[in-house]
């Protein structure tokens, strides 16, 4: 009995020990599992945080790289800000690697002047930004691209107290070819004198005197055989170099100018050029003169550069006589300062009614007057017909007498 009792006690003790071991193992396992679980959660949270951090870093890096890329692209495109000032104004040109205007983008400039800072926008996206009515002094301009990123360093320019009649730098960026414009809307020259002259011209109608005979031509005369022209006795040619658009005011080169210049030069003729104006102020007159200096060298010319002033049904027809005279003087003075001889072309009626002849500078005068035996006004060159006939030119051609060019 005692033996059985001892067996029972041993059995119970064993059960207690086993149960304790199991419980110990259980709680140890739970605790270990919980610790492992906590650690796992920690590691997971750290990993997630790390991914988030990495993601945020990547997102930020990507943002930074976009800015850097934009700046790099900007730098690689070599965008240049060119400033010019003529008459208390500021013209800002955005040019590309080739010196061409950058169009189709919304550039902005921040202009800091002597009295204020202001923002200018390129609303029509043509690469030209303009500010007017500025006080004289030093101006700093910063260019911002269409993403609001500053391009390059600040550029400075001085707005003078008085106008400087000197050719503008890089004006060629604003000179268009006819392939780039609406020619029908822009080249609208009206030949007023020609309307009066309906019959072919007879050379016997005029007294040439001691003058020499020449022609003036443009794209309307098409292809010209200059050797035949010279052989027929024509000694000089005044060639249209370009025009300002009647509608938009863009500067345009005559598509036949270079061909005519080279042909007349090869034929040994004396050469002058003319630019058909649509300037409505002095600033635009300086621009037109500047365009001439980029298109032809003064060494290629033996005769003056003329501003062609006549009706066009365009933007400059309504300019008052006083302003028109200032425009002519500005054009000629700018060219004279650049080493060119300069003058003005207009018909007799315009000379008498559309300008202030008393205020006109001492420029060469090329006068148009048809169906007359003399010009009627003292002039250096007389365009006496638009119905002339010359070997080498198909159809009618303008004929001129050089008295003192």
pLDDT for position 321: 98
Q: Comparing C-alpha atoms, which of 317, 319, 402 is closest to residue 364?
A: 402
pLDDT for position 210: 85
| Alpha helical stretches, state H, 200-306 | 226-231, 257-266, 282-295
Q: What are phi and psi of 341, to 5 degrees?
A: -85, 140
Domain 171-402 CATH class label: alpha beta
pLDDT for position 106: 94
pLDDT for position 300: 98
pLDDT for position 202: 64
DSSP string, 323-388: HHHHHHHHHHHHHHHTT--EEEEEEHHHHHHTS-GGG--S-EEEEE--SSSS-SS--SEEEEEEEE
Q: How far apart are CA 152 and CA 315, in angstroms?
A: 37
Which CATH architecture group holds 80-159? Answer: Sandwich (2.60)
Percentage of the chain beyond pLDDT 70 is 77
Instruction: Write out residues in the chain with pLDDT < 50, as ranges.
Output: 1-76, 194-195
Q: How far apart are CA 184 and CA 220, in angstroms?
A: 13
Cβ pair 92, 81 in contact under 8 A: yes
Backbone φ/ψ region at 83: left (φ over 0), alpha (ψ -120 to 50), beta? beta
Q: List the Cα angle 372/375/379 in 5-degree steps.
A: 165
Domain boundaries, the chain: 40-77, 80-159, 171-402
Q: Comparing C-alpha atoms, which of 254, 249, 258, 275 is closest to residue 342?
A: 275
pLDDT for position 65: 32
pLDDT for position 61: 32
The model scores a pTM over 0.85: no
pLDDT for position 135: 95
């Amino acid at each position: 009995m005692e033996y059985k009792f001892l067996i029972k006690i041993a059995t119970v003790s064993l059960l207690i020990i086993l149960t304790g071991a199991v419980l110990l193992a259980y709680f140890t396992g739970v605790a270990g599992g919980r610790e492992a679980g906590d650690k796992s959660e920690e590691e997971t949270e750290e990993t997630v945080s790390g991914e988030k951090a990495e993601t945020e870093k990547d997102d930020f890096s990507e943002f930074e790289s976009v800015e850097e890329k934009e700046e790099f692209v900007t730098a690689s495109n070599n965008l240049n800000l060119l400033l010019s000032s003529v008459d208390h104004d500021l013209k800002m040109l955005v040019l590309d690697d080739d010196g061409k205007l950058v169009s189709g983008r919304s550039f902005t400039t921040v202009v800091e002047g002597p009295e204020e800072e202001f923002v200018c926008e390129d609303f029509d996206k043509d690469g030209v930004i303009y500010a007017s009515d500025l006080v004289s002094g030093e101006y700093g301009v910063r260019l911002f691209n269409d993403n609001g990123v500053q391009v390059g360093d600040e550029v400075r320019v001085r707005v003078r107290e008085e106008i400087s009649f000197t050719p503008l730098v890089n004006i060629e960026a604003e000179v268009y070819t006819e392939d780039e414009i609406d020619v029908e809307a822009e080249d609208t020259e009206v030949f007023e004198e020609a309307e009066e002259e309906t019959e072919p011209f007879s050379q016997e109608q005029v007294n040439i005197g001691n003058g020499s005979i020449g022609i003036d031509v443009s794209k309307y005369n098409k292809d010209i055989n200059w050797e035949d022209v010279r052989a027929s006795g024509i000694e000089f040619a005044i060639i249209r170099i370009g025009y300002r658009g009647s509608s938009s005011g863009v500067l345009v080169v005559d598509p036949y100018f270079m061909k005519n210049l080279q042909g007349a030069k090869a034929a040994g003729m004396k050469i002058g050029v003319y630019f058909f104006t649509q300037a409505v102020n002095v600033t635009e007159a300086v621009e037109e003169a500047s365009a001439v200096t980029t298109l032809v060298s003064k060494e290629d010319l033996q005769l003056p550069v003329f501003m062609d002033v006549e009706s066009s049904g365009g933007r400059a027809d309504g300019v008052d006589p006083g302003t028109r005279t200032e425009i002519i003087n500005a054009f000629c003075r700018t060219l004279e300062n650049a080493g060119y001889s300069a003058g003005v072309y207009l018909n007799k009626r315009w000379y008498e009614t559309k300008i202030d002849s008393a205020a006109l500078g001492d420029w060469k005068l090329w006068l148009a007057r048809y169906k007359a035996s003399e010009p009627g006004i003292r002039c250096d060159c007389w365009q006496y017909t638009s119905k002339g006939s010359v070997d080498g030119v198909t159809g009618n051609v303008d004929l001129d007498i050089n008295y003192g060019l």
